[in-house]
Structures are given as C-alpha cells and as structure tokens.
Amino acid sequence: MYYPEQRHTLAWATVRRERLLPDQSIGTVEARNGQYLNLRDVVARGRVPARYIFVEATGFFRLRNETELVDLMLVEIGEQVAAGQVLAGKQATKGKRLVSPVTGVIVYVGQGRIIIQETPEEIEVEAGLTGQVVGIRPNQGVVVEAFGALAQGVWGNGRRLIGPLRIEPEDGLEAIFDDTIDRPYAGSIVITRRSLKAVSLDALETQNIGGVVAPSMDAALYERALDMDVAIMLTEGFGDIRMSSYLFSLLEGFNGRQTTLDAVLPTRWDAGRPEVFINLPPKAGERPPEPRMDLTLQTGMTVRLTRAPYAGLIGQVIGLPKTPQLLDNGLRVPCAQVDLITGGKVMIPLANLEIFGK
C-alpha cells in the first residue's frame, strides 16, 4: 500500500480555506459564522506592531562626542518622517546627510543614535472566494467554504490575486508587448504552456499583467520572481518543462472567468500549496465532494510523472509489481507500470508519481 504525493486538479470540488491576518498582527474579524461572502469582501482588518529602527549616527558622521549629534539634528522627537527624508547633517540640501530608512516617528535621539518607530502597516484580508464562513479564528480571520474548480502547483512567489483567467496569445507571453492586445490582459491571470524566461517576466511587468500560471521557470530567475508584484505559480517546477495537456485543458475551459490565484511560497513549516481556484455556481441539490487526502495508488489511476526524462507527462497505472524492479541506473526500487498518453509503457519509481486527487 503506497500513498503517493497529491496535487489536486479537480473540475468540481468543495474546498475550505483559511483567510487569516499575518502572524504577530493585531486585528479584528469582520465576518460572522454562516455569512455568505463575495470574492472582494473584507473578512478581517489589523495592524502589524510597529518596529523600532535604530539609526547609528556616531560612525556615520565620525563624531568624537555622542552629544554632537543633537546639533546636527534637522528633525525633532515626535516628528513624523518619511523614508528617505534627511534626519541629520550640517545642511538639509548638501554635504553629508543621514536619511531615514523608513516612514515613522522619531522617538529618541541620544547616545549617538536615532530611534524611529515605524508606521504600522494597515492590513485588510479579503475572502478571495465566493462562499460561506464555516469557522471563525478569533482576532485572526475565518474559514471559508466554496465550490469550484481547483488546480494546484508546486511553487509560488507568495502573492495572491483575484482577476479574470486568460489564455496566452498563440505566440506566447512575449506577444503581449503588442499594444493591440494590451487591454484584455491588464490585471488578468494568464495561462501559458511555455516555460518562463527573462523576456516573459519583462512582459508581465511592462503590460501590467496581474498573475501568471506557467509550467516551469529558469532557476536563475528565482530571486527576481520573488521580488515581483505579479503573482507567479509554477505547475511542474524549475527548468524547461511544458504544462501537461490534462491541466491546460481544464484551465482553458474556464477562460474569461473570475479566478483566485493564491501563489503560496512553499516552506518547511507550511503545508499549503500554490493553487488556482475558479468559483462555480452550486448545482441544484448537489454538493461537490471534498478532495480526499488518503488515496492509495491503484491500477487505473491517472498519474503525473515528476522526474526526468518523463517530467510533466501524464499516464495511467496499468500494473503494480509486488517486488522492487531493477532500473537502468542499477537501483532496485518499488515501481508502477505506466501507460503514457503520448504512447509507450514505462516502469516508473513510485516516488516519481503524483496523482490528481479526487
């Protein structure tokens, strides 16, 4: 009995998602249990406690006596300052000047340093789903239940976006540089079957595209993708891998629909996955099933292959040998025999398989 990795790709499912304020924040919940929500409804508001920023002036001005800082100050205790504003110097417009690294309030000047209390960040948490509140997390947020289509990925850059789903032009994301198709893609979530390159990220930024769902990305672009405001989700991984026809066909069927892209950044402490969710109206008298997390691998299941040379391919399990199989690399490991949709039967290690869930 083997429990394979699951990344759900479901055309009709019930999901429950937490919508919470960040850790360390102080806030209130504005939704009530049982309330029906729209995508943009605010469910919680709060503030992250303000940090205290220490600005060292003694070394910056090479002061012999720490008390000399008082004569150089161009702002006073209790004064609001903006990031980049001059705090101290002989003159405010020329010469050596110390500037504020953040927006905040001056709370202390002495011992050769300036202390600034940063302005608290105001946070609003949107529902992100059209559904019903089924749980309250006091002072944090809510649990929302919704019906719709779900497609999960392997990596996201930590952004969340609500927008219309669009399929990329035939010539790829780069074609969106053409002004004639700028409007339909601005603020939208674009689906591409191609791996993201540097020029792809340029197109996303310059054309005000809100998000992208792509199969893969050059690993050299990792840091740049993290810094972008555009929400990015990868469905296969890093490298040059195309999106599976199974997943693309599912998403293509929802072209133009309002969609939530939650590009969760995977961490070792968080089991959340990046995902696309398309709200669908409930059918009369029918409640879609919740995704099952306890599925065992069985013959007849459709699987996704996750490692080279078959990464990204889809197939059906046609055999589960009871004994470990000898591979070309000399390893003997538990395997499944898979009939690829592209043709051919291959023996694949169980660790290299994922199922789409039910």
The pLDDT value given to residue 177: 65
Judged against a pLDDT cut of 80, whether residue 96 lies above it is answered with yes
pLDDT tens, position by position, 267-311: 877 778 999 999 998 777 788 888 888 889 999 999 999 888 888
The pLDDT value given to residue 183: 62
Whether pTM exceeds 0.85: no
Q: How many CB atoms lie within 10 A of CB 192?
A: 20
Provide the pLDDT confidence category of residue 182 given band limits of 50, 70 and 90: very low
Judged against a pLDDT cut of 50, whether residue 93 lies above it is answered with yes
Residue spans of the domains in the chain: they are 52-118, 154-272, 302-355
Fold of 52-118: OB fold (Dihydrolipoamide Acetyltransferase, E2P) (2.40.50)
Q: Is 3.50.30 the CATH number for 154-272?
A: yes
Percentage with pLDDT > 90 across the chain: 65
Q: Angle at Cα 134 formed by Cα 14 and Cα 188, nearest 5°?
A: 55
The pLDDT value given to residue 173: 81
Judged against a pLDDT cut of 90, whether residue 172 lies above it is answered with no
Domains 52-118 and 154-272 share a fold: no
Provide the pLDDT confidence category of residue 252 given band limits of 50, 70 and 90: very high
Q: Is 1.10.287 the CATH number for 302-355?
A: no
What lies within 8 Å, CB to CB, of 196 at 6+ separation is: 173, 212, 214, 216, 217, 218, 221, 225, 232, 234
55, β-bridge pairs: 114
Between CA 275 and CA 17 the distance in angstroms is 11
Provide the pLDDT confidence category of residue 313 given band limits of 50, 70 and 90: confident
Judged against a pLDDT cut of 60, whether residue 343 lies above it is answered with yes
**Which residue has tokens 């051919």?**
344
Between CA 261 and CA 353 the distance in angstroms is 25
pLDDT tens, position by position, 120-164: 888 999 999 999 999 999 999 999 999 999 999 999 999 999 999
